[in-house]
Amino acid sequence: MKIRKVLTSITFRYIARYVMALSATVFLLLAFLYGYFSYTYFSELSASIVDELDTIELVYRGQSIPGVEQYIDDRLAINEIDPLYYLVSDAQGNKVAGNLPVSPRYREFSGGWMGFQIDLLEWGGSTEAEFLARAITLDEGFRAVVAGNYADAVEKTELVFRTLFRAMIATLILGLTGGFISASATLDRIERLKSELSTVIRGGPGQRLQLGRELGSVRELAVMMNDILDQMELLMQGVRSVSDNIAHDLRTPLTRMRNHLSQLRSDLETASKADVDSIIEECDELLTSFNALLRISALEAGSALSGGADIELGALLRDVVELYEPVAEERGIDIRFECHQVYYCKGEIDLLFQMFANLVDNAVKYTPSQGSVELRLQTRPAQNDVPGMHSIIIADSGAGIPPAERKNVFRRFYRVEASRGEKPGHGLGLSLVQAIVHYHRGGIELGSNNPGLLVRVKLPQL
């Protein structure tokens, strides 16, 4: 099973392909070298044999047989590295001159070439040797043969070839074995990772891959997988806290509704319309929550504002302040907004009103009595490439939001812990504000008013 796994692993198949391709290349190279060497050697040998025969024929024409004998003796006297061999015989086949034995068994090749083998030991040579020979027939039945020994060269070439061939086989075997080993090592690491991963799958979101003695890219891979697991856990926590908050926000009105209903049941005879009305109010609260949630989703899912009407921000803000003035007054809060200039921006008036109403609502809600809420409208004209921005500040003298919480308050259903259950609200107000600001291609930031909260909304100029 293991062997089969290794053999089918990517690493092994890769190495095997590589080794085989390498061997094939080497084999082709050797074949070419062998052919080239053999061809060069034989063509040189045959050329010198043909030359020698021409010379012998010339000598015979000039000085007849004695001259040839003299010439051959002279040639044999010179100790050459690759000597040629000679045989001159008469019409009856008797040897007249030369150092070859009389008529060895010739093999006929094409083009007048012949080959033969003799055991050189018999006449003082080294060992049995292969010869290439060519003959010419002279007058009166005389015949001259010149031969060259090629066994040496061929043997040397063959030896090299055989050695290299064996080396190639060895490379193949060693290479494949090495491939097998390294593949199985890689496979082991992957198997370890796999078993770690299955532990993680079984063990739940808290589990991580053990890095242990892993090195290099496998370690990096494991680290990255751990990072992915970290992110997943974070997201899951986010989802969980959102659903926790939903559960919390829905549970309170539902519990109240349930209590009302059970009370209503026991008072069924005397139950008044007011009891039913209060249940209906609870339902309305739930519906408001869901409506807000749906509006946020719709705003976030859609593309940003295109076009829109020209809106006078000062008038809009005055309307918001006017709407909230009685509430503020009732709670003893001083609410102020002064703006003597006319600023325009593009937008959806109802959405912008909703946004500022939510912000002012929050400011009034979280400011203690005798406190103050102040709205300011400033504008920075366009400079060079930087587009002009209106900035609307809503500053209160309430408790403010600690810096660590300032990002969180925009999350759906998130409520600063201290205010959960204390102040009315469904934790969606600021989420909606942010969605509307983004829809208008603006920005929002929270800061401190020392003490209190300072909200700065930026909207692009017309």
| Interacting residues toward other proteins by CB under 8 A | 273-274, 277-278, 280-281, 284, 287-288, 290-292, 294-295, 298, 302, 319, 322-324, 326-327, 330, 348-351, 353-354, 357-358, 361-362, 365, 424-425, 429
Tokens representing 135 are: 């003959």
Q: Which residues contact 86 (CB under 8 A, 6 or more apart)?
A: 56, 72, 75, 76, 97, 98, 99, 100, 144, 145, 146, 147
How many angstroms separate the CA atoms of 431 and 415, rounded?
11
Nearer to other proteins, 189 or 412 (CB): 412
Minimum gap (Å) between residue 374 Cβ and other proteins:
19
Residue 222's CB is within 10 A of a number of other CB atoms, namely 21
Answer whether the bond into residue 451 is a cis peptide, omega within 30°: yes
Minimum gap (Å) between residue 368 Cβ and other proteins:
16
Minimum gap (Å) between residue 263 Cβ and other proteins:
17
Minimum gap (Å) between residue 423 Cβ and other proteins:
10
Nearer to other proteins, 239 or 309 (CB): 309
Minimum gap (Å) between residue 436 Cβ and other proteins:
10
Tokens representing 391 are: 């900035």
Nearer to other proteins, 236 or 280 (CB): 280
Nearer to other proteins, 134 or 426 (CB): 426
Q: Where are the beta strands (DSSP E) in 313-423?
A: 334-337, 344-347, 372-380, 389-396
Nearer to other proteins, 53 or 364 (CB): 364
Nearer to other proteins, 71 or 324 (CB): 324
Spell out the alpha helix ranges (H) of 204-342: 216-266, 273-301, 313-330
Tokens representing 124 are: 């003082």
Minimum gap (Å) between residue 311 Cβ and other proteins:
11
Dihedral sign for Cα atoms in the order 249, 250, 256, 257: positive
* Terminal CA-CA length for the chain: 73
Minimum gap (Å) between residue 388 Cβ and other proteins:
24
Rg (CA), the chain: 52
Nearer to other proteins, 200 or 292 (CB): 292
